[in-house]
Structure 1
């Protein structure tokens, strides 16, 4: 198995090249070469000082790689205990080490009989899973890695993922006190033009949020889906998390914030949600502010990933939806990669 995630800088010096790799991805900035690398160099140079300050808040580096390694170890153990046979779990980060080329060489040396590509993005987007899969195919070809490969396209409604989120959310609701609260399911935003092109990400985020709310049951407060981390001049999907924080202050309700599209802690949870948005909430007079932790190695989540891997094994090579192989996205989301409707 190969787990995909974004990656993050492992030192202050790595911040600028990490940002360059990010903005040089055609899935992120869709302008042609050679304009894109020039633009990526300009943006990364301008953003690097601010980004270094952000990472300084959490020790000068991203915790994403070590946390993903923990998830890989836990998943390998869970699959071994399930009787599915010997499994080796590798990790491949999209924008910093270990990247696809490095991991493909390691996988080639290991000599697997089959490969399952498993994104740690529960909801599919062309900007995350789509980009990682495309880069992996390139790297595998360079490495001479020609092995039957199944790609998990997404798992926004997987029962273990939903159960883990619901469990952590219930705990946070209890911590929020006696006053009225509102739950914000906060996901990384995308430009509207990406969604308009047929990307299913927003629809899947909304499906996940509704399923978690239903799983919490009678104790579930009112809730809303919102989006964070906007950058650049384009119009982004909304409502924004910042606007929802301000609205909660005006309405006199506390907040419980759920990172509904992230499975690991990183700068967007540890800095943006925990520091910047908490300060905004205090400024806007929000009565209480509780952030739900990422699912990480929650037993239900890991068990769910193991089920997903077991389900896609043996299916035809290609992109597979862990829903009996059936595509779950409506036809309007034409960039969903699952081939069976």
Structure 2
């Protein structure tokens, strides 16, 4: 099957003589960050993270020792965070659960047989392990499905590069579709909005009528230099929030997009979640925080949002602090993932967004569609 032909009507159903045909086997590879599975894993997890060239953008000869230095400095606070979670990240189990739910949601599709595989970026099972597992299953095609709604070179881009290298090492070569982003997908936005709506109504019921309630849509931050270089992440986060807001029924809603988890001294995109918590305290406004770039609970929701920021809010005297849960295996969210998978597989594209082609404005040069176009021009020696 040529690369780029992904129609779901191929291979399954019945042939011209009415004979039953075999379903096409599709391996869905779920990309996620990963997290340490025990306290001894925290340091190597952080080393993997901070020596990734997509994360630590310094000259290659500096990165190994600088990345290890950063990991060493962050090991103790990270271990304290994971201690709150019982000494390990829950991300693998939650991602595996999402994979099983996705398989179940697509189990009755007439033309394809689906099995999900997890490829974590910084801790096991990483791409090498996932590629060997996929090869052993012998699929007819592969769908790369990042569990990051918004594309960034630091997340989906890094995971794709790691997967490509793992496939070369494993000798895995089958037709592959890459879903690059799904930031404004209608099903995803509606499922997320329902969680926000429910949380807002519960919070509103606990607050005095004269206390205002502001929604903070909090996403993981990025250094400004990465965004200025062409990374579309911030634009896509803003598109996600706009899509979710359209599905909310909250009159005169007060909301803002903000960014958390700064880890380096350079300037990061803003406003920061911490600054917005301080502003809410000054204005005597209660807050409902919605993690808008995370679809599973992990340390940055369960510790940073639920413990650290809550303590800060209490210290500042905020009249109410509430949090929207991550999607995890919420049925409406899983149904949206299944629809996204079907759309990608039926797109006829080897690289697609939730809406088919490129969605990012031209200034976002790190959009994978822009890079693919440049690579295609180079391949045929056309002028850029």
Instruction: Give the TM-score of the pair, scaled to structure 2.
Output: 0.86
User: For the pair shown, which has the larger CA radius of gyration, 1 or 2?
Assistant: 2
| Shift >6 Å, 4+ stretches | none
Q: Which residue does 2:282 correspond to in 1? A: 250
2:92 pairs, out of 65, 72, 89, with 65
Shift of 1:318: 3.1
The residue correspondences of 1:98-137 to structure 2 (distance < 5 A) are 98-137=125-164
Q: Which moved more, 1:173-182 or 1:183-192?
A: 173-182
Q: How far did residue 316 of structure 1 move?
A: 4.5
Please list the CA deviations of residues 54-96 of structure 1 after superposition, one character each: whole Å capped at 9, or x if unmatched.
1001101000000000000000010113434210100000000
1:81 to 108, 115, 121: 108
State yes or no: 1:229 paired with 2:261: yes
Contact kept? 2:186, 2:243, Cα under 8 Å: no
Structure 1 unaligned residues grouped into runs of 5+:
none
2-structure distance, mates of 1:98, 1:199: 27
Q: Mark the runs of 5 or more structure 2 residues left unpaired by the alignment.
A: 1-27, 374-384
Aligned to 1:162: 189
CA distance in structure 2 between the aligned counterparts of 1:220 and 1:318, rounded to whole angstroms = 42
Asked whether 1:330 is paired with 2:361, we answer yes
**How far 1:32 moved relative to its partner?**
2.8
Two-structure CA RMSD over aligned residues (Å): 1.4
Match of 2:121 in 1: 94
1:213 to 231, 235, 245: 245
Match of 1:184 among 216, 219, 226: 216
Q: Secondary structure at the match of 1:34?
A: coil
- Counterpart residue number, 2:18: none
* Alignment deviations for residues 89-128 of structure 1 (CA, whole Å, 9 cap, x no partner): 0000000000000110010111000000000000000000
Q: Which residue of 1 aligns with 2:37?
A: 10
SS in 1 for 2:257: strand
- Whole-Å Cα distance in 1 between the matches of residues 184 and 164 of structure 2? 26
- Matched residue pairs, number? 340
User: How far apart in 2 are the matches of 1:282 and 1:34?
Assistant: 45
Structure 2 distance, partners of 1:128, 1:203, is 15
Distance 1:257 1:140 in 2: 39
The aligned counterpart of 1:305 is: 337
TM-superposed deviation, 1:327:
1.3
Task: Flag the structure with higher helix content.
Answer: 1
In 1, Cα distance between equivalents of 2:118 and 2:251: 37
Cα displacement (A) at 1:313: 1.2
The match for 1:203 among 229, 235, 241 is 235
When residues 154 and 281 of structure 1 are mapped into structure 2, their CA distance, relative to the original with a 3 A threshold, is: same
Partner Cα separation in structure 1 for residue 249 and residue 233 of structure 2: 25
User: What TM-score results when the alignment is normalised by the length of structure 1?
Assistant: 0.97
**Matched-pair contact (CA < 8 Å) for 2:197–2:249:** no
